[in-house]
Chains A and B, each alone.
Chain A
């Protein structure tokens, strides 16, 4: 087991290097720091001095890959690639455009993101699975048919409409909850409940249909026929046998996203003014703050790889037949 985990972590290193090279290529080779400076400074007539100052303040005035002016190891370390990309591996993100420390921002913003994402995931999972079980229980009846129709219709509505509509109905018409904002501690519940509800509602369409397919596939198997032949009630078959056996495909989908919960949800957070990592990323994209975007890309990849590893490990927990070699 331990050897397996270590091997997987070692395998992750070339992938992270690849991610780093892609982002480096995108951010520094396709566009030189000069272009970035011109865009950030905005004005049409930027003086070369202003560009040079902008680059120097952010450490972009060094050569890209190889500093031929220096000697020894500094040939490599005194470059943009080393300073901006390699340092990400040590989770050293540097400062954002507004001079704030990115690592500090990430630490403080993680809480609100999780306060929103964890309930959304758990409630969503519970709702989707119960809905799907209901449809599977009443399969091949009108209830099932209309359930699927409802799912497809709900899938066809853009997330934006769920958010805008939910905000309008719950906050503006009914004045149930504040329209946006966030507070720490227990007060957070007041601000989080609507985004969670909307997130769950928006996910029912795709989720419910997906789990229904899973359950139906599972119900065609031999052990289900055996269970029925034994004379078990359909509900027992469904809840005790099918649900347990469907855990593996459910886990594949769920565990992989758990680490990514730290990243928050881009849309929901920015609509509801929740100061999490998602809104941080969106603000950075809109302000074209490349240092932040680069850091978030790197963190996202690390978390994704972590999610894949956790998925494989969780298999051994739910399915004793799976052995990791």
Chain B
């Protein structure tokens, strides 16, 4: 095999999660009462537009979650060796961006480096003399005959991208019209318009990115656009895998506390009050610091650096989950307290239905809307938390590219004159779009599921 697949722990969990979501979607599509609230969600134009944006992020994240190690060409070596570098499908798709390194910072779309260097003049009367100036980039704009063509070339590429986007617009409009007929009620226009906006940004960027660094390069000369795209996976993982820990704990403990009452309730309440009373960041920081010691002590668990970083990411998710289930548990406890007094539960008791069955068949389905709302609402907060935690130094592995580490690295360069603004701007733009879409979508989900909220 020319490559060896690498199964990072977070990859496996992410795929399981996707399978679970797909299974849930399938069962929703077969049961009217489950599908109804989702229908209400997607009837909102904002929600369908946001789900297109989120879908785009998810596609990038998924492509970045299939990892492998390339086989090394070693003539004569008996054993097959694999590169220590773990790549993903996304890396493969963006191999141009990944490989076009510069020496250090360069501004977006520029042809020259950001720092002056000694350059030898190759032609003309002064040939052989050395001069301090901004050297040409190795890759950015290197296809140009003369730098004066840069603006024209950029406009041509953007124009070409927009032309492609306008072609796509026709297709989208046709598709939206068709879908409108087959399944009315869903605002296909807003979804289509959002798709078009994405394409109108992505296609010109794609055209430019083949010969320029659209968002500049960072300190070691890596393309910032590539780094931003790589960061998406970390955000998605933190926002979703955390719920894998949070949900079982929050649901199980919350429901049992409210349903059984008595000493069970006391114990569970005690546990979550105690956890809650420890300041969140401190608890996370303490736990992450401690796990880092464990990782350092057992360096031989991890064959590659990527696997070590991935383990830390997984631990971070687990810790975030362990520290944040209390809110959900408290909500569900209150709800289960209320439910257990209702007649249909008492009727179930009268029929001799076991507690486990009452919990799973009668209580759980009636609190499902709270669970779904909480999961969706938590996502954006977790994405934002990652940036802060990475800044504090207790987030993802410092070698991992994430929005937090990008901001952290860019912050140190704010003192430069003129300032290096592009890493920060890139992280800001990507995070803002992701979190805004998640927030708006979460609002729609809450409106669709919450029985108290009535759409006017």
A interface residues (Cβ-Cβ under 8 A, vs B): 14-15, 18-19, 22-23, 26-27, 30-31, 35-36, 39, 152-153, 155-161, 164, 167-168, 172, 260, 263, 266-267, 281-282, 285-286, 288, 290, 293-294, 296-297, 300-301, 304-305
Contact = CB atoms under 8 A, between A and B. Distances in A.
B279 interface: yes
A228 B156 CA distance: 63
A297 B286 contact: yes
Contact of B281 (A168, A266, A290): A266
B414 A285 contact: no
A259 to B, nearest CB: 11
B394 A159 contact: no
Contacts of A15: 270, 273-274, 277
Contacts of B294: 30-31
Given A160-B388, A301-B278, A305-B277, A152 B293 contact: no
A263 B277 contact: no
Interface of B: 270-271, 273-279, 281-283, 285-287, 289-291, 293-294, 296-297, 380, 384, 387-388, 391-394, 403, 407, 411, 414, 419, 424, 428, 431-432, 435-436, 439-440, 443
Contacts of A260: 279
Contacts of A159: 384, 388
Given A155-B439, A168-B414, A285-B393, A26 B287 contact: yes
Per DSSP, are chain A's interface residues mostly helix, strand or loop, or mixed?
helix
The 10 closest A-B pairs by CB, nearest first: A18-B274, A300-B279, A156-B436, A156-B435, A301-B277, A304-B277, A31-B293, A285-B285, A158-B387, A30-B290
Given A267-B388, A297-B286, A153 B293 contact: no
A23 to B, nearest CB: 7
Contacts, number: 120
A290 B296 CA distance: 17
Given A15-B277, A152-B439, A304-B277, A27 B388 contact: no
Given A22-B274, A158-B403, A266-B281, 17 more contacts: A19-B274, A26-B286, A27-B290, A30-B291, A35-B293, A152-B440, A156-B432, A156-B436, A157-B431, A158-B407, A158-B435, A168-B414, A168-B419, A260-B279, A266-B392, A286-B393, A300-B279
A189 B392 CA distance: 26
Contacts of B275: 22
A113 to B, nearest CB: 13
A104 B272 CA distance: 32
5 contacts: A19-B277, A23-B278, A35-B293, A297-B283, A301-B279
Nearest to B421: A168
B436 A153 contact: yes
B282 A300 contact: yes
Contacts of A301: 277-279
Contacts of B439: 152, 155-156
Contacts of B431: 156-158
Contacts of B407: 158, 160-161, 164
B432 A300 contact: no
A293 B289 contact: yes
A26 B290 CA distance: 7
Contacts of B286: 23, 26-27, 293-294, 297
A312 B394 CA distance: 34
A172 B416 CA distance: 11
B259 to A, nearest CB: 23
Given A152-B436, A160-B388, A300-B282, A288 B277 contact: no
B368 to A, nearest CB: 23
Given A26-B286, A153-B436, A158-B387, A18 B270 contact: yes
